[in-house]
Amino acid sequence: ITVLIMFLVAASNFFGAVFSNLGTPQMLTELLLSFDMSSWAMLFFILALIFVLGWPLEWVPIVLIIVPILLPVVETLDFGLNQADLLIWFAILVAVNLQTAWLSPPVALSAYFLKGVVPEWDLKDIYLGMMQFMVIQLIGLLLIIYFPQIALWLPNYW
């Protein structure tokens, strides 16, 4: 597992370097910023993109490849937060969003891990059991989106 993680980090760094040298992050940033969307609409678009990518991909490639491409766009959005709070808030949104994607069908990688641990359980029952947690995750994500101070209270407390 450690070798796999290190391989992913190395591959992500290599991919990121090639991506950067080709100017792709700037092109994607300019493309996203060219959309005539409000800050809230852009945030929901970015979170939806991360959510969909969270189905088939693990969090490591998303955090190491996709998030650095999206950060310049996020930094231009106006939610009435200072730069540090905006980045902390976005990082927490990404983490909760990826956890929710990991629980949600159609892929729900965590369901297959649980099925491997307890093979006698039916996959349908695992999905039904996970739905209540997914609903709680979505409510939590919406609360953090609309009330950023929920996520920022502890970091700002210190």
pTM: 0.79
Q: pLDDT, tens digit, for every residue of 82-118?
A: 999 999 999 999 999 998 888 887 777 778 778 888 8
User: Which helix H or strand E contains 3, and what residues bound it?
Assistant: helix 2-21
| DSSP string across 105-134 | TTT-HHHHHHHHHSTTS-HHHHHHHHHHHH
Q: At what angle do helices 123-146 and 39-53 cross, to 10 degrees?
A: 160
Q: pLDDT, tens digit, for every residue of 32-46?
A: 888 889 999 999 999
**Cis peptide leading into residue 106 (ω within 30°):** yes
Q: pLDDT, tens digit, for every residue of 2-12?
A: 777 677 677 76
| DSSP string across 6-58 | HHHHHHHHHHHHHHHHTTHHHHHHHHHHHS---HHHHHHHHHHHHHHHTTTS-
